[in-house]
Chains A and B, each alone.
Chain A
Protein backbone atom coordinates (compact mmCIF):
# COMPACT_ATOMS: atom_id res chain seq x y z
CA UNK A 1 0.00 0.00 0.00
CA UNK A 2 1.62 3.29 -1.10
CA UNK A 3 0.78 6.17 1.19
CA UNK A 4 1.22 9.87 0.49
CA UNK A 5 1.17 12.35 3.37
CA UNK A 6 1.17 16.15 3.24
CA UNK A 7 -0.55 16.30 -0.17
CA UNK A 8 -2.63 19.31 -1.22
CA UNK A 9 -5.69 17.07 -1.00
CA UNK A 10 -5.19 16.02 2.62
CA UNK A 11 -4.26 19.59 3.62
CA UNK A 12 -7.29 21.14 1.91
CA UNK A 13 -9.46 18.20 2.95
CA UNK A 14 -8.67 18.86 6.61
CA UNK A 15 -10.19 22.34 6.20
CA UNK A 16 -13.27 20.80 4.57
CA UNK A 17 -13.89 18.91 7.84
CA UNK A 18 -13.91 22.19 9.80
CA UNK A 19 -16.66 23.75 7.68
CA UNK A 20 -19.79 24.97 9.38
CA UNK A 21 -17.82 25.18 12.61
CA UNK A 22 -16.28 27.67 15.01
CA UNK A 23 -12.54 27.80 15.74
CA UNK A 24 -11.88 29.46 19.09
CA UNK A 25 -8.78 31.21 20.46
CA UNK A 26 -7.69 29.70 23.78
CA UNK A 27 -4.76 30.54 26.05
CA UNK A 28 -4.73 27.48 28.36
CA UNK A 29 -6.03 23.92 28.79
CA UNK A 30 -9.12 24.98 30.79
CA UNK A 31 -10.26 27.33 28.07
CA UNK A 32 -9.59 24.63 25.47
CA UNK A 33 -11.85 22.20 27.38
CA UNK A 34 -14.58 24.84 27.63
CA UNK A 35 -14.31 25.39 23.87
CA UNK A 36 -14.44 21.65 23.09
CA UNK A 37 -17.41 21.10 25.41
CA UNK A 38 -19.21 24.03 23.77
CA UNK A 39 -18.83 22.36 20.36
CA UNK A 40 -15.82 24.17 18.84
CA UNK A 41 -14.54 22.27 15.77
CA UNK A 42 -10.94 23.29 16.57
CA UNK A 43 -8.99 25.57 18.91
CA UNK A 44 -6.25 28.11 18.21
CA UNK A 45 -3.60 27.87 20.94
CA UNK A 46 -1.92 31.20 21.69
CA UNK A 47 -0.40 32.97 24.69
CA UNK A 48 -2.32 36.21 24.36
CA UNK A 49 -5.63 36.76 22.57
CA UNK A 50 -5.55 39.66 20.08
CA UNK A 51 -7.30 42.04 22.49
CA UNK A 52 -4.42 41.59 24.96
CA UNK A 53 -1.74 41.86 22.28
CA UNK A 54 -3.36 45.14 21.32
CA UNK A 55 -3.59 46.37 24.91
CA UNK A 56 -0.10 45.27 26.03
CA UNK A 57 1.81 46.08 22.86
CA UNK A 58 5.32 44.80 22.24
CA UNK A 59 6.45 42.14 19.77
CA UNK A 60 3.99 39.24 19.51
CA UNK A 61 5.60 35.88 18.69
CA UNK A 62 4.68 32.18 18.49
CA UNK A 63 3.55 30.58 21.75
CA UNK A 64 5.64 28.50 24.14
CA UNK A 65 5.70 24.84 22.94
CA UNK A 66 4.86 23.73 26.52
CA UNK A 67 1.65 25.72 26.46
CA UNK A 68 0.67 24.36 23.04
CA UNK A 69 1.34 20.78 24.11
CA UNK A 70 -0.75 21.17 27.27
CA UNK A 71 -3.64 22.21 25.07
CA UNK A 72 -3.02 19.31 22.67
CA UNK A 73 -3.15 16.95 25.65
CA UNK A 74 -6.37 18.48 26.97
CA UNK A 75 -8.59 18.13 23.90
CA UNK A 76 -9.34 15.64 21.12
CA UNK A 77 -10.34 18.25 18.53
CA UNK A 78 -7.75 19.76 16.13
CA UNK A 79 -5.30 22.26 17.59
CA UNK A 80 -3.97 25.18 15.55
CA UNK A 81 -1.20 27.62 16.40
CA UNK A 82 0.01 30.93 15.02
CA UNK A 83 3.39 31.89 13.60
CA UNK A 84 4.62 35.29 12.45
CA UNK A 85 4.30 36.19 8.76
CA UNK A 86 7.46 34.95 7.03
CA UNK A 87 8.93 33.24 10.11
CA UNK A 88 9.54 29.79 8.65
CA UNK A 89 11.56 28.58 11.63
CA UNK A 90 8.67 29.22 13.99
CA UNK A 91 6.63 27.15 11.50
CA UNK A 92 9.22 24.32 11.57
CA UNK A 93 9.02 24.29 15.38
CA UNK A 94 5.23 24.30 15.45
CA UNK A 95 5.08 21.54 12.82
CA UNK A 96 7.40 19.37 14.94
CA UNK A 97 4.87 19.57 17.81
CA UNK A 98 2.26 17.81 15.65
CA UNK A 99 -0.05 20.81 15.53
CA UNK A 100 -2.90 20.18 13.06
CA UNK A 101 -2.91 23.58 11.30
CA UNK A 102 -0.60 26.62 11.29
CA UNK A 103 -1.99 30.15 11.03
CA UNK A 104 0.56 32.48 9.39
CA UNK A 105 -0.99 35.42 11.13
CA UNK A 106 -0.95 39.20 10.90
CA UNK A 107 -2.04 39.25 14.56
CA UNK A 108 1.58 38.48 15.50
CA UNK A 109 4.35 40.92 14.61
CA UNK A 110 5.52 40.28 11.03
CA UNK A 111 9.05 38.97 10.41
CA UNK A 112 9.37 39.49 6.68
CA UNK A 113 7.85 42.55 5.04
CA UNK A 114 8.35 41.14 1.53
CA UNK A 115 7.82 37.38 1.57
CA UNK A 116 5.42 35.00 3.24
CA UNK A 117 6.43 31.44 4.20
CA UNK A 118 6.84 28.92 1.35
CA UNK A 119 4.10 26.69 2.67
CA UNK A 120 4.64 23.90 0.11
CA UNK A 121 7.75 22.94 2.13
CA UNK A 122 5.61 21.71 5.04
CA UNK A 123 3.46 18.64 5.70
CA UNK A 124 1.27 20.55 8.11
CA UNK A 125 -1.37 22.67 6.36
CA UNK A 126 -1.49 26.48 6.66
CA UNK A 127 -4.31 28.99 6.92
CA UNK A 128 -3.57 32.59 5.93
CA UNK A 129 -5.52 35.83 6.13
CA UNK A 130 -6.67 37.90 3.16
CA UNK A 131 -8.41 41.23 2.67
CA UNK A 132 -9.13 40.70 -1.03
CA UNK A 133 -9.10 38.05 -3.75
CA UNK A 134 -5.60 38.83 -5.04
CA UNK A 135 -4.12 38.43 -1.56
CA UNK A 136 -6.04 35.15 -1.07
CA UNK A 137 -4.75 33.73 -4.38
CA UNK A 138 -1.16 34.79 -3.64
CA UNK A 139 -1.36 32.89 -0.35
CA UNK A 140 -2.86 29.82 -2.09
CA UNK A 141 -0.06 30.02 -4.67
CA UNK A 142 2.43 29.86 -1.79
CA UNK A 143 0.69 26.72 -0.50
CA UNK A 144 -2.02 27.94 1.91
CA UNK A 145 -4.67 25.18 2.20
CA UNK A 146 -7.30 27.42 3.80
CA UNK A 147 -8.04 31.15 3.74
CA UNK A 148 -9.68 33.32 6.37
CA UNK A 149 -10.86 36.76 5.51
CA UNK A 150 -9.15 39.24 7.83
CA UNK A 151 -11.06 41.50 10.14
CA UNK A 152 -9.60 43.82 12.72
CA UNK A 153 -8.63 41.28 15.38
CA UNK A 154 -9.12 42.02 19.06
CA UNK A 155 -11.69 44.75 18.58
CA UNK A 156 -15.12 43.11 18.75
CA UNK A 157 -15.96 45.34 15.78
CA UNK A 158 -17.05 43.20 12.86
CA UNK A 159 -17.04 46.00 10.26
CA UNK A 160 -13.67 45.13 8.72
CA UNK A 161 -14.55 41.45 8.43
CA UNK A 162 -17.70 42.57 6.61
CA UNK A 163 -15.71 44.76 4.23
CA UNK A 164 -13.29 41.96 3.40
CA UNK A 165 -15.98 39.32 2.89
CA UNK A 166 -17.80 41.71 0.55
CA UNK A 167 -14.58 42.47 -1.31
CA UNK A 168 -13.56 38.84 -1.77
CA UNK A 169 -17.11 37.81 -2.75
CA UNK A 170 -17.49 40.74 -5.12
CA UNK A 171 -14.18 40.07 -6.84
CA UNK A 172 -15.06 36.39 -7.30
CA UNK A 173 -18.46 37.31 -8.79
CA UNK A 174 -16.81 39.79 -11.14
CA UNK A 175 -14.36 37.14 -12.42
CA UNK A 176 -17.22 34.79 -13.28
CA UNK A 177 -18.73 37.50 -15.51
CA UNK A 178 -15.59 38.13 -17.60
CA UNK A 179 -14.85 36.77 -21.06
CA UNK A 180 -12.04 34.23 -21.15
CA UNK A 181 -9.76 36.63 -23.06
CA UNK A 182 -10.18 39.22 -20.28
CA UNK A 183 -8.79 36.95 -17.54
CA UNK A 184 -5.16 37.76 -18.38
CA UNK A 185 -5.63 41.40 -17.48
CA UNK A 186 -7.75 40.39 -14.48
CA UNK A 187 -4.79 38.34 -13.22
CA UNK A 188 -2.50 41.33 -13.71
CA UNK A 189 -4.88 43.62 -11.82
CA UNK A 190 -5.36 41.12 -8.98
CA UNK A 191 -1.57 40.52 -8.86
CA UNK A 192 -2.37 36.81 -8.76
CA UNK A 193 -1.31 33.78 -10.85
CA UNK A 194 -3.32 33.36 -14.05
CA UNK A 195 -4.02 29.63 -13.44
CA UNK A 196 -5.72 30.36 -10.10
CA UNK A 197 -7.64 33.32 -11.54
CA UNK A 198 -8.93 31.08 -14.35
CA UNK A 199 -9.94 28.39 -11.85
CA UNK A 200 -11.91 30.87 -9.74
CA UNK A 201 -13.58 32.30 -12.88
CA UNK A 202 -14.72 28.78 -13.83
CA UNK A 203 -15.87 27.54 -10.42
CA UNK A 204 -17.11 30.78 -8.86
CA UNK A 205 -15.32 30.01 -5.59
CA UNK A 206 -11.87 29.82 -4.04
CA UNK A 207 -10.06 26.49 -4.53
CA UNK A 208 -9.80 26.17 -0.72
CA UNK A 209 -12.15 26.64 2.23
CA UNK A 210 -12.86 30.28 3.18
CA UNK A 211 -13.41 31.07 6.85
CA UNK A 212 -13.77 34.55 8.31
CA UNK A 213 -12.09 36.15 11.31
CA UNK A 214 -11.61 39.37 13.20
CA UNK A 215 -14.00 41.21 15.46
CA UNK A 216 -16.69 38.51 15.70
CA UNK A 217 -18.19 38.80 19.20
CA UNK A 218 -21.81 37.62 19.09
CA UNK A 219 -23.91 34.78 17.63
CA UNK A 220 -25.44 37.37 15.27
CA UNK A 221 -21.95 38.34 14.03
CA UNK A 222 -21.14 34.68 13.35
CA UNK A 223 -24.43 34.15 11.47
CA UNK A 224 -23.88 37.36 9.48
CA UNK A 225 -20.53 36.08 8.23
CA UNK A 226 -22.09 32.71 7.30
CA UNK A 227 -24.86 34.48 5.37
CA UNK A 228 -22.13 36.46 3.59
CA UNK A 229 -20.73 33.16 2.31
CA UNK A 230 -18.11 32.16 4.88
CA UNK A 231 -17.57 28.39 5.32
CA UNK A 232 -17.06 28.89 9.07
CA UNK A 233 -15.75 31.39 11.61
CA UNK A 234 -12.77 32.05 13.86
CA UNK A 235 -13.62 33.74 17.15
CA UNK A 236 -10.63 35.19 18.93
CA UNK A 237 -11.06 37.52 21.85
CA UNK A 238 -14.87 37.54 21.55
CA UNK A 239 -15.47 34.47 23.72
CA UNK A 240 -13.00 34.53 26.59
CA UNK A 241 -13.18 38.34 26.93
CA UNK A 242 -16.94 38.13 27.51
CA UNK A 243 -18.95 37.75 30.72
CA UNK A 244 -19.96 34.09 30.25
CA UNK A 245 -17.54 32.28 27.91
CA UNK A 246 -19.07 28.77 28.05
CA UNK A 247 -22.55 29.97 27.19
CA UNK A 248 -21.37 32.43 24.54
CA UNK A 249 -19.18 29.77 22.93
CA UNK A 250 -22.08 27.30 22.71
CA UNK A 251 -24.36 30.05 21.37
CA UNK A 252 -21.88 30.95 18.60
CA UNK A 253 -21.56 27.26 17.60
CA UNK A 254 -25.35 26.97 17.28
CA UNK A 255 -25.59 30.27 15.40
CA UNK A 256 -22.97 29.11 12.89
CA UNK A 257 -24.99 25.97 12.06
CA UNK A 258 -28.44 27.63 12.08
CA UNK A 259 -27.23 30.87 10.50
CA UNK A 260 -30.36 31.16 8.36
CA UNK A 261 -32.88 30.62 11.16
CA UNK A 262 -33.74 33.89 12.94
CA UNK A 263 -35.76 32.06 15.59
CA UNK A 264 -32.78 29.92 16.65
CA UNK A 265 -30.54 33.01 16.51
CA UNK A 266 -32.93 34.88 18.81
CA UNK A 267 -33.02 31.95 21.25
CA UNK A 268 -29.24 31.61 21.46
CA UNK A 269 -28.77 35.39 21.79
CA UNK A 270 -30.87 35.54 25.00
CA UNK A 271 -29.24 36.18 28.36
CA UNK A 272 -25.63 35.87 27.25
CA UNK A 273 -24.42 38.57 29.63
CA UNK A 274 -21.80 41.09 28.66
CA UNK A 275 -20.15 40.84 25.26
CA UNK A 276 -16.54 41.96 25.08
CA UNK A 277 -16.43 45.73 25.41
CA UNK A 278 -14.54 46.23 22.21
CA UNK A 279 -12.95 49.09 20.31
CA UNK A 280 -14.33 50.80 17.23
CA UNK A 281 -11.96 50.17 14.32
CA UNK A 282 -12.35 53.83 13.30
CA UNK A 283 -10.77 54.84 16.63
CA UNK A 284 -7.58 52.83 15.99
CA UNK A 285 -4.82 54.83 14.29
CA UNK A 286 -4.00 53.35 10.88
CA UNK A 287 -0.43 52.21 11.82
CA UNK A 288 -1.91 50.06 14.60
CA UNK A 289 -4.37 48.20 12.40
CA UNK A 290 -3.49 44.52 12.01
CA UNK A 291 -5.54 43.67 8.91
CA UNK A 292 -3.27 45.81 6.76
CA UNK A 293 -0.29 43.55 7.49
CA UNK A 294 0.22 41.15 4.56
CA UNK A 295 1.49 41.70 1.04
Chain B
Protein backbone atom coordinates (compact mmCIF):
# COMPACT_ATOMS: atom_id res chain seq x y z
CA UNK B 1 0.00 0.00 0.00
CA UNK B 2 1.22 3.53 -0.81
CA UNK B 3 0.87 5.69 2.27
CA UNK B 4 1.30 9.44 1.95
CA UNK B 5 2.49 11.70 4.74
CA UNK B 6 1.65 15.39 4.43
CA UNK B 7 5.18 16.84 4.30
CA UNK B 8 4.58 20.59 4.58
CA UNK B 9 5.92 21.06 8.13
CA UNK B 10 6.41 18.99 11.30
CA UNK B 11 7.66 15.51 12.11
CA UNK B 12 6.72 13.93 8.79
CA UNK B 13 10.03 12.02 8.55
CA UNK B 14 9.17 10.02 11.69
CA UNK B 15 5.80 9.04 10.19
CA UNK B 16 7.44 8.11 6.86
CA UNK B 17 9.77 5.82 8.82
CA UNK B 18 6.87 4.23 10.74
CA UNK B 19 5.09 3.58 7.42
CA UNK B 20 8.19 1.85 6.03
CA UNK B 21 8.68 -0.10 9.29
CA UNK B 22 5.12 -1.45 8.88
CA UNK B 23 6.05 -2.73 5.40
CA UNK B 24 4.21 -0.10 3.34
CA UNK B 25 5.56 2.37 0.78
CA UNK B 26 5.97 5.89 2.19
CA UNK B 27 5.27 8.89 -0.08
CA UNK B 28 5.98 12.57 0.74
CA UNK B 29 2.86 14.60 -0.12
CA UNK B 30 3.41 18.28 -0.96
CA UNK B 31 1.39 18.49 -4.17
CA UNK B 32 -2.03 17.47 -5.44
CA UNK B 33 -0.47 15.00 -7.89
CA UNK B 34 1.22 13.21 -4.96
CA UNK B 35 -2.05 13.18 -2.98
CA UNK B 36 -3.82 11.43 -5.84
CA UNK B 37 -1.21 8.65 -5.90
CA UNK B 38 -1.71 7.41 -2.35
CA UNK B 39 -4.03 4.80 -0.80
CA UNK B 40 -3.97 6.44 2.66
CA UNK B 41 -2.71 9.67 4.21
CA UNK B 42 -1.10 10.65 7.52
CA UNK B 43 -1.21 14.20 8.90
CA UNK B 44 1.88 14.60 11.12
CA UNK B 45 2.58 16.54 14.28
CA UNK B 46 3.74 20.11 13.84
CA UNK B 47 2.09 23.51 13.97
CA UNK B 48 -1.49 23.28 12.72
CA UNK B 49 -1.58 26.98 11.74
CA UNK B 50 1.59 26.60 9.64
CA UNK B 51 0.38 23.42 7.95
CA UNK B 52 -3.02 24.92 7.04
CA UNK B 53 -1.34 28.09 5.77
CA UNK B 54 0.88 26.07 3.43
CA UNK B 55 -1.97 23.75 2.35
CA UNK B 56 -4.04 26.78 1.35
CA UNK B 57 -1.17 28.49 -0.46
CA UNK B 58 -0.25 25.41 -2.44
CA UNK B 59 -3.80 24.41 -3.42
CA UNK B 60 -3.95 21.30 -1.25
CA UNK B 61 -6.70 22.41 1.12
CA UNK B 62 -9.80 21.59 -0.95
CA UNK B 63 -8.29 18.44 -2.55
CA UNK B 64 -7.58 16.99 0.92
CA UNK B 65 -11.11 17.85 2.08
CA UNK B 66 -12.50 16.18 -1.04
CA UNK B 67 -10.30 13.10 -0.53
CA UNK B 68 -11.53 12.77 3.07
CA UNK B 69 -15.15 13.09 1.93
CA UNK B 70 -14.57 10.43 -0.72
CA UNK B 71 -13.36 7.96 1.94
CA UNK B 72 -9.56 8.19 1.82
CA UNK B 73 -8.26 6.67 5.08
CA UNK B 74 -6.55 9.46 7.03
CA UNK B 75 -4.72 9.36 10.37
CA UNK B 76 -3.69 12.55 12.20
CA UNK B 77 -1.41 12.84 15.26
CA UNK B 78 -1.52 15.96 17.48
CA UNK B 79 -1.61 18.81 14.92
CA UNK B 80 -3.08 16.18 12.60
CA UNK B 81 -5.95 15.64 15.07
CA UNK B 82 -6.67 19.38 15.03
CA UNK B 83 -6.63 19.36 11.22
CA UNK B 84 -9.21 16.53 11.12
CA UNK B 85 -11.57 18.04 13.69
CA UNK B 86 -14.82 19.64 12.55
CA UNK B 87 -14.63 22.16 15.41
CA UNK B 88 -11.72 23.64 17.42
CA UNK B 89 -11.51 25.81 20.50
CA UNK B 90 -8.56 28.02 21.44
CA UNK B 91 -7.41 28.22 17.84
CA UNK B 92 -6.47 31.40 16.05
CA UNK B 93 -9.43 33.46 14.83
CA UNK B 94 -11.29 31.68 12.02
CA UNK B 95 -8.74 28.85 11.99
CA UNK B 96 -9.72 26.44 9.24
CA UNK B 97 -9.39 22.65 9.33
CA UNK B 98 -9.74 19.89 6.76
CA UNK B 99 -12.46 18.46 9.01
CA UNK B 100 -14.34 15.19 8.67
CA UNK B 101 -14.17 14.00 12.28
CA UNK B 102 -17.29 14.96 14.22
CA UNK B 103 -15.35 16.16 17.27
CA UNK B 104 -14.50 19.38 19.09
CA UNK B 105 -10.78 19.65 19.85
CA UNK B 106 -9.14 22.03 22.31
CA UNK B 107 -5.71 23.19 21.11
CA UNK B 108 -2.79 23.05 23.59
CA UNK B 109 -5.33 21.68 26.09
CA UNK B 110 -2.75 20.01 28.33
CA UNK B 111 -0.84 23.30 28.64
CA UNK B 112 2.41 24.76 27.43
CA UNK B 113 5.64 22.91 26.74
CA UNK B 114 6.59 22.65 30.45
CA UNK B 115 3.39 20.59 30.86
CA UNK B 116 4.24 18.21 27.99
CA UNK B 117 4.46 14.65 29.30
CA UNK B 118 4.81 10.96 28.63
CA UNK B 119 2.50 8.41 30.14
CA UNK B 120 1.20 4.85 29.85
CA UNK B 121 -2.33 4.49 28.57
CA UNK B 122 -4.62 1.93 26.99
CA UNK B 123 -5.12 2.01 23.25
CA UNK B 124 -7.70 -0.32 21.74
CA UNK B 125 -7.41 -2.60 24.77
CA UNK B 126 -3.59 -2.84 24.94
CA UNK B 127 -1.04 -0.87 26.96
CA UNK B 128 0.85 1.87 25.10
CA UNK B 129 3.52 4.40 26.11
CA UNK B 130 2.39 7.78 24.74
CA UNK B 131 4.19 11.11 24.26
CA UNK B 132 2.08 14.29 24.53
CA UNK B 133 3.63 17.59 23.34
CA UNK B 134 1.60 20.78 23.74
CA UNK B 135 -1.14 18.32 23.03
CA UNK B 136 -4.81 18.88 22.21
CA UNK B 137 -7.64 16.81 23.66
CA UNK B 138 -11.10 15.93 22.42
CA UNK B 139 -13.68 17.99 24.27
CA UNK B 140 -16.85 16.68 22.70
CA UNK B 141 -17.66 13.83 20.29
CA UNK B 142 -20.44 13.11 17.83
CA UNK B 143 -22.62 9.99 17.94
CA UNK B 144 -20.60 8.08 15.33
CA UNK B 145 -17.22 8.62 16.98
CA UNK B 146 -15.53 5.75 18.83
CA UNK B 147 -13.10 6.59 21.67
CA UNK B 148 -9.99 4.37 21.63
CA UNK B 149 -7.99 6.00 24.49
CA UNK B 150 -8.49 8.48 27.28
CA UNK B 151 -6.12 10.52 29.47
CA UNK B 152 -7.05 12.98 32.23
CA UNK B 153 -10.73 12.13 31.58
CA UNK B 154 -10.56 13.30 27.99
CA UNK B 155 -10.57 11.31 24.77
CA UNK B 156 -7.07 11.31 23.23
CA UNK B 157 -7.57 8.72 20.48
CA UNK B 158 -10.72 8.58 18.37
CA UNK B 159 -12.00 6.91 15.25
CA UNK B 160 -14.88 7.62 12.91
CA UNK B 161 -15.24 5.66 9.65
CA UNK B 162 -12.12 6.22 7.55
CA UNK B 163 -10.56 8.66 10.02
CA UNK B 164 -8.28 8.10 13.03
CA UNK B 165 -6.79 10.77 15.30
CA UNK B 166 -4.55 10.78 18.39
CA UNK B 167 -3.50 13.64 20.69
CA UNK B 168 -0.18 11.89 21.22
CA UNK B 169 2.79 11.04 18.97
CA UNK B 170 3.29 7.29 18.37
CA UNK B 171 5.83 8.27 15.69
CA UNK B 172 8.20 9.45 18.47
CA UNK B 173 8.31 5.98 20.07
CA UNK B 174 9.32 2.59 18.68
CA UNK B 175 5.81 1.20 19.28
CA UNK B 176 4.00 0.77 15.94
CA UNK B 177 0.61 -0.26 17.46
CA UNK B 178 -1.29 2.87 16.36
CA UNK B 179 0.11 2.81 12.82
CA UNK B 180 -0.67 -0.93 12.59
CA UNK B 181 -4.22 -0.30 13.83
CA UNK B 182 -4.62 2.35 11.11
CA UNK B 183 -3.38 0.05 8.36
CA UNK B 184 -5.14 -3.12 9.57
CA UNK B 185 -8.46 -1.80 10.89
CA UNK B 186 -9.09 1.30 8.79
CA UNK B 187 -7.21 0.98 5.51
CA UNK B 188 -7.93 -2.70 4.94
CA UNK B 189 -10.44 -3.36 2.19
CA UNK B 190 -10.57 0.24 0.98
Contact = CB atoms under 8 A, between A and B. Distances in A.
Interface of A: 1-7, 9-10, 13-14, 16-21, 36-42, 75-78, 95, 98-101, 123-125, 250, 253-254, 257-258
Contacts of A257: 7-9, 30, 54
Contact of B79 (A6, A7, A17, A253): A17
Interface in B1-58: 7-14, 30, 45-47, 49-50, 53-54, 57-58
Given A19-B10, A36-B92, A100-B134, A10 B46 contact: no
Contacts of A6: 114
A87 to B, nearest CB: 19
Given A1-B119, A21-B10, 5 more contacts: A17-B45, A38-B53, A100-B112, A101-B113, A253-B54
A258 B115 CA distance: 33
Interface of B: 7-14, 30, 45-47, 49-50, 53-54, 57-58, 78-79, 90-92, 107-108, 111-121, 131-134, 151-152, 169, 172
A252 to B, nearest CB: 12
B47 A95 contact: no
A2 B54 contact: no
Contact of A17 (B46, B92, B120, B121): B46
B47 A77 contact: yes
A116 to B, nearest CB: 20
A41 B50 contact: yes
18 contacts: A4-B117, A4-B118, A5-B116, A9-B118, A13-B116, A13-B131, A14-B116, A16-B10, A16-B11, A17-B134, A19-B12, A36-B92, A39-B53, A39-B57, A76-B107, A77-B50, A101-B113, A124-B114
A19 B46 contact: yes
Contacts of A18: 46-47
B57 A10 contact: no
A21 B50 contact: yes
Which 8 A-B pairs rank lowest in CB-CB distance, beginning with the nearest? A39-B53, A100-B113, A10-B116, A16-B11, A20-B9, A41-B47, A3-B117, A98-B112
Nearest to B9: A20
A5 B152 CA distance: 14
A10 B151 CA distance: 17
A85 B99 CA distance: 44
Given A2-B120, A36-B92, A253-B54, A16 B49 contact: no
Residue among B45, B116, B118 with the highest chain A CB neighbour number at 10 A: B116
